[in-house]
Amino acid sequence: MFQKVSLILTICLVLLNSCAKEEVENQSQVIGEWKLINYSIGTAHDINKDGWSNLNLLNEIDCDDNEVLKFETTGVVSSNETYNPTLQISKSEVDNTYTFNIECSEGIISFATSFSQINSNTFQFNDKEFTVINDSFNIVLVEDIKIYNVDFSQIIETKDLVLTYTKL
């Protein structure tokens, strides 16, 4: 009888320990701080006129880019300094060149929302799923960037905005 009780207790302890270990492993991929390292519309541009075109507009736009997302064990994701410049982009239908009007955000834009862990490397917030690969993940804002004709009277195309974050 003692052996049966001992065996059952041992099995319960092993199961409880493995569940707790799995929970920690599931959270370990996303919990922590993530720095914005890429802000791309899918085409390279030389906005700052330094002679180099970049896909990553963080290298072209002269606005503070201190955005860090913080994922907490409580299920909250927040940022105290959101990178949010106003982009007005026009495209010449004559020579297909782009013109950028950029206004940097004044002050600090913050947010907090909930997120859920789906598995060890996938999580969800704002109704979208994200997967951590090699300590980074992308947020794709589909058709978020509007490209206008030169007099800004008509949208002539849209582009996805891709934000890439890496773990600090």
Q: What is the pLDDT of residue 120?
A: 82
The CA distance from 119 to 97, in Å, is 44
Q: What percent of the chain has pLDDT over 90?
A: 68
Q: How far apart are CA 69 and CA 81, in angstroms?
A: 9
Integer Cα distance of 81 and 95 in angstroms: 37
Please report the pLDDT score of residue 84 as a whole number.
87
First to last CA, the chain: 53
pTM: 0.80
Question: How confident is the model over 144-155, as pLDDT tens digits?
Answer: 999 999 999 999
Per-residue confidence (pLDDT) for residue 63, from 0 to 100:
92
DSSP track, 91-141: E-TTT--EEEEEEPPPS---EEEE-EEEETTEEEETTEEEE-BTTEEEEEE
The residue that leads in pLDDT, 110 or 60, is: 60
Residue 16 pLDDT greater than 70, yes or no: no
- Each domain of the chain, given as residue ranges in start order, spans 28-167
